[in-house]
Every structure is written in structure tokens, then in C-alpha cells.
């Protein structure tokens, strides 16, 4: 039963929990903490090793797994990765004395949904379990459908309809350049606009915390920004998030960066704040476009990890191509599949401009050097771009004629990205939710890896 509350608001079933820790006293203490709310939580199993944890999860099929990191035979991160494969209906919450961003990143890569630092506070434990349980609802639904488990389909359908994010794909597209001045913000704003179609929800996020320009490019001002979400991450709900998001005149939803440097620094003090926020709200949108700064840190890496696609921006200059080579090598070391990255050249000049003295590296030479196909070449037209910025609109909506450069190339690339993600998985509007959930049989949640 996926909808735990009936019409009167009373809980039907408690959240099933498995506790994994190599110290028996710790397991018992956590069981006692959860027993205080025995109407809401029920411990259905415990394990003292990683291997035992995988077996217990398969046997008990819990909703939540509280997983310690340091254990014999198989550590918590390895066990999490195994559980995510053998029983993805369970959501793993990592627990560790290590309050280290590297552990957090590894845990999320393995498939964990949240991270608690020991000793765990009572309210923090309860609230985290509740939040993760809610986030993981559609994954549990999907697991039941795929394994032919009995499902109250009417309740499941109502839950999906009432939860705005349940039927959205949540594709996260990170636009990044390791060098300033390559047009990443121009690409992000136009990509987000180009992805907007009928019945498609798109969110544009300005993740360049200290020096974000999305608000400037779109002439948006708001007293509510990303900074307002940081203190609410653990209990973030879609209604509050929607109240923070700003709407552009085109209908595009935009989450702006903090308006002051000191507020940006406050956000940066919360480890992986943007990634944690996006994890909770991404599936209320079809596409989330993230415009990033050109710095490289742990927060940025967490966005790369969770991204469906990374649009790597460069210009056809020696320094920019050198930096692009550095990033592609990094992505290889992170074991990203090549198709995760889409390499785009901006400010590409035609023969007339090159004859005027603006000599750049030919595209063929760049592709040969990087061993990477250029998936879009955006022509150099500073006048059109500046005119659109001054008007506060994306370049692709600046004028009606979409056959002119660089509008044509930006529109074409948006279509290319859209088709690469949707493809044959687009849902026919005439299909009802119930048929779709059963017929597709493929994950809609990009983040529950």
C-alpha cells in the first residue's frame, strides 16, 4: 500500500525499516528510538554486516534502510550499491561519524537518498525517514509493478496525481564551462526556453551562487532566491519550493541565485546544498537546466554526478580547448559514459570574420584533438545576443525568424537535447496514468540510482 494515509488522515501502515550497523548496541538503540513512534515506524530487520544487510533487505523488502558505513566484509557504500540493484524499492539512508563531503558524494553515487551524521538526533532521524519515504514513493510503486506485487492501483494513481512530481522524468541538464566568457548562461537560458513544449515543465536554476547572471539575462528580480531554501532542505515540500521560484514572462520557471555575496557564502556552507534541493524537487519537472559557475568544487561535482546530461561549453580558442580537454579527462576518471557529455562550441566564426582578423581553431582540428564530436556550433553574433539580453528575453525568442543565426543553431540544439532524452519514452497524452505506469516498465526517476 503506497498511500499510507486514508481519507481521514490516519496512517494505514507503518514505514518498514531495516537497521544495519556492526555494533549491536547501536542497532538496539536505533530500534528503541523508532519504537517511540511505533505507529509510524516498524523495524522489520537488522544486520551487522554488509552482506547480511543485502540478504535481510531481499527477505523483508523494507521501505527504508538505515545503513552504517564502516562494517566488516562489505562496507555500507558497497552494500548500498548492491541493495539499489537487487531491491530498488528500498531507500537507503547512510549513517556515519564521518561528516565528510567525500563520504556523502560516494554514498549518493552508490544510490543513497540521504546522509545522517552520528550521533543521530531523534527529530533529525524521524524527519529524514519521513522525507526520504515520501521522495521514494514512485520508486516503490515501480518496484511493485515490475515484480507483480499486489498494488492498490487507485490509491497509487491518486498519489501520483496529487504529487506534482510523480509523473515527471526529472532530467537534470548541467551547463558548464571551466572558463568564463564562453556563453554558458546564454546556452542555459536558451536551452531551458527551447525545451518548453506543451505539457512539459521546465525549471532553470542559477547555480552560479556568487556571480550568477540568469536574473540579469532575463530581467528578473525576486526577494525569494535559492538562499531561502537552504534552511528548509530536510523538510522541503513542493508548495514551499514553488513559492520561491520566479516565473519569467515566457512562462519559464526560474530559481535565482542569492542577490548578495554574503548570502551566497552562507549557501556554500551547506554541503551540496543545490544537489540536495534538486534531488527533492527534480521529479516535479520534466527538465531541470542548471547554469553553473566555472569553478570546480565538491558541490559542482555532486551536480555532475546527478546530471542526466552535461553540456560542456567551449570556444574555438587554444585556452578554452585545453580546459575542455581537462574536463573530459576528469569525466573519464569519474567513469561517466561518453554520451552523458554533450560538447558545444560557442562563438564559432565564419570565413568573413576570420578574414577580418579573428582567427580561431577549425572545428575538425578540435574534434580530432579531443576525440569528441562537436554536437553544436553556435555562430558568433554578439549584437543579437546583447540585444536579447538588453530586452530581457532568451535569444531564441528575440525575433520570430528562427532561420537566422544564432537563433537557428540554439533552437536546433534544444531539439537535439530534447529528443536525446525523450526519444521513444515520450508518454502519449491519451494514455491514462494507470496504463502508463504498467506499460512503460522503465524508471522515470533519474535520481534514484
Same domain flag for 91 and 182: no
Give the three cell numbers for residue 281. 524537487
Of all residues in the chain, the percent with pLDDT exceeding 90 is 43
pLDDT of residue 340: 93
Same domain flag for 106 and 193: no
Same domain flag for 200 and 252: yes
pLDDT confidence band for 72 (50 / 70 / 90): confident
Provide the b/e sequence for 393-430 (b: ≥16 CB within 10 Å).
Answer: bbbbbbeeeeeeebbebbbebbeebbeebbeeeebeee
* Residue 33 in domain: yes
Range of the domain at 151: 15-162
Same domain flag for 118 and 252: no
Same domain flag for 68 and 119: yes
Give the three cell numbers for residue 389. 539580453
pLDDT confidence band for 114 (50 / 70 / 90): confident
pLDDT confidence band for 320 (50 / 70 / 90): very high
Whether the predicted pLDDT of 412 surpasses 90:
yes
Whether the predicted pLDDT of 346 surpasses 60:
yes
* Residue 444 in domain: no
Among residues 102, 132, 162, the one where a domain terminates is: 162
Mean pLDDT of the region 282-290: 92
Same domain flag for 303 and 250: yes
CATH number of the domain at 184, please: 3.40.50.300
The CA distance from 361 to 214, in Å, is: 29
pLDDT of residue 417: 94
pLDDT of residue 137: 79
pLDDT of residue 214: 94
Q: Are 211 and 202 in contact (CB under 8 A)?
A: no
* Residue 94 in domain: yes
Same domain flag for 158 and 245: no
pTM score:
0.60
- β-bridge partners, 253: 203, 247
* Residue 20 in domain: yes
The CA distance from 210 to 220, in Å, is: 17
Same domain flag for 114 and 190: no
Which DSSP symbol is given to 443?
-
Whether the predicted pLDDT of 359 surpasses 70:
no
pLDDT of residue 9: 39
Q: Between these two residues, 353 and 191, which has the higher pLDDT value?
A: 191
Mean pLDDT of the region 392-415: 86
Among residues 127, 162, 197, the one where a domain terminates is: 162
pLDDT confidence band for 352 (50 / 70 / 90): low
Mean pLDDT of the region 268-278: 89
pLDDT of residue 136: 82
pLDDT confidence band for 12 (50 / 70 / 90): low
CATH number of the domain at 114, please: 3.40.50.2300
pLDDT confidence band for 100 (50 / 70 / 90): low
Same domain flag for 257 and 404: yes
The CA distance from 218 to 214, in Å, is: 6
Least confident stretch, 111-120, 149-158, 329-338: 149-158
The CA distance from 259 to 224, in Å, is: 9
* Residue 432 in domain: no
* Residue 441 in domain: no
Same domain flag for 60 and 117: yes
Q: Is 323 helix (H, G, I), strand (E, B) or coil?
A: helix
Same domain flag for 276 and 393: yes
* Residue 431 in domain: no
How many residues are recorded in the chain? 449
pLDDT confidence band for 164 (50 / 70 / 90): very low
* Residue 446 in domain: no
Whether the predicted pLDDT of 217 surpasses 80:
yes
pLDDT of residue 429: 35
Which of 48, 105, 95 shows the shortest CA–CA distance to 73? 48
Same domain flag for 268 and 152: no
Whether the predicted pLDDT of 243 surpasses 60:
yes
Question: What is the domain count for the chain?
Answer: 2
Amino acid at each position: 500500500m503506497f498511500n499510507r494515509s486514508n481519507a481521514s488522515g490516519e496512517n494505514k501502515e507503518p514505514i518498514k525499516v531495516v537497521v544495519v550497523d556492526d555494533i549491536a548496541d547501536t542497532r538496539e538503540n536505533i530500534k528503541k528510538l523508532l519504537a517511540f513512534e511505533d505507529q509510524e515506524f516498524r523495524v522489520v530487520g537488522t544486520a551487522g554486516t554488509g552482506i547480511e544487510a543485502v540478504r535481510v533487505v531481499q527477505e523483508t523488502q523494507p521501505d527504508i534502510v538505515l545503513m552504517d558505513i564502516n562494517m566488516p566484509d562489505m562496507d555500507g557504500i558497497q552494500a548500498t550499491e548492491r541493495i539499489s540493484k537487487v531491491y530498488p524499492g528500498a531507500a537507503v539512508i547512510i549513517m556515519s561519524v564521518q561528516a565528510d563531503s567525500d563520504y556523502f558524494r560516494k554514498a549518493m553515487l552508490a544510490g543513497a537518498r540521504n546522509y545522517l551524521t552520528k550521533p543521530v538526533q531523534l527529530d533529525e532521524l524521524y524527519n529524514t525517514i519521513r522525507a526520504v519515504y515520501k521522495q521514494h514513493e514512485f520508486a516503490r510503486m515501480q518496484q511493485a509493478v515490475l515484480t507483480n506485487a499486489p498494488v492498490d492501483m487507485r490509491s497509487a494513481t491518486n498519489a501520483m496525481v496529487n504529487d506534482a512530481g510523480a509523473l515527471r522524468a526529472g532530467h537534470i541538464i548541467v551547463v558548464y564551462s571551466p572558463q568564463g566568457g564562453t556563453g554558458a548562461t546564454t546556452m542555459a537560458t536558451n536551452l531551458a526556453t527551447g525545451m518548453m513544449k506543451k505539457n512539459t515543465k521546465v525549471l532553470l536554476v542559477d547555480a552560479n551562487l556568487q556571480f550568477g547572471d540568469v536574473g540579469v539575462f532575463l530581467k528578473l528580480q525576486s526577494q525569494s532566491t535559492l538562499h531561502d531554501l537552504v534552511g528548509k532542505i530536510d523538510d522541503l515540500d513542493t508548495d514551499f519550493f514553488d513559492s520561491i521560484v520566479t516565473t519569467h514572462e515566457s512562462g519559464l520557471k526560474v530559481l535565482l541565485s542569492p542577490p548578495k555575496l554574503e548570502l551566497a557564502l552562507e549557501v556554500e556552507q551547506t554541503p551540496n546544498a543545490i544537489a540536495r534541493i534538486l534531488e527533492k524537487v527534480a521529479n516535479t519537472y520534466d527538465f531541470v537546466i542548471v547554469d553553473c559557475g566555472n569553478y570546480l568544487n565538491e558541490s559542482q561535482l555532486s551536480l555532475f554526478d546527478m546530471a542526466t546530461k552535461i553540456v560542456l561549453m567551449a570556444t574555438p580558442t587554444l585556452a578554452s580547448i585545453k580546459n575542455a580537454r581537462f574536463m573530459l579527462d576528469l569525466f573519464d576518471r569519474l567513469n561517466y559514459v561518453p554520451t552523458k557529455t554533450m560538447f558545444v562550441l560557442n562563438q564559432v566564426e565564419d570565413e568573413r570574420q576570420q578574414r577580418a582578423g579573428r582567427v580561431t581553431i577549425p572545428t575538425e582540428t578540435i574534434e580530432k584533438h579531443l576525440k569528441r564530436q562537436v554536437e553544436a556550433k553556435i555562430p558568433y553574433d554578439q549584437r543579437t545576443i546583447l540585444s536579447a539580453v538588453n530586452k530581457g528575453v532568451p535569444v531564441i525568442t528575440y525575433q520570430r525568424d528562427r532561420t537566422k543565426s544564432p537563433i537557428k543553431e540554439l533552437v536546433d540544439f534544444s531539439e537535439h537535447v530534447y529528443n536525446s532524452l525523450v526519444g521513444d519514452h515520450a508518454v502519449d497524452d491519451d494514455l491514462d496514468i494507470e496504463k502508463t505506469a504498467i506499460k512503460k516498465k522503465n524508471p522515470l526517476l533519474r535520481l534514484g540510482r
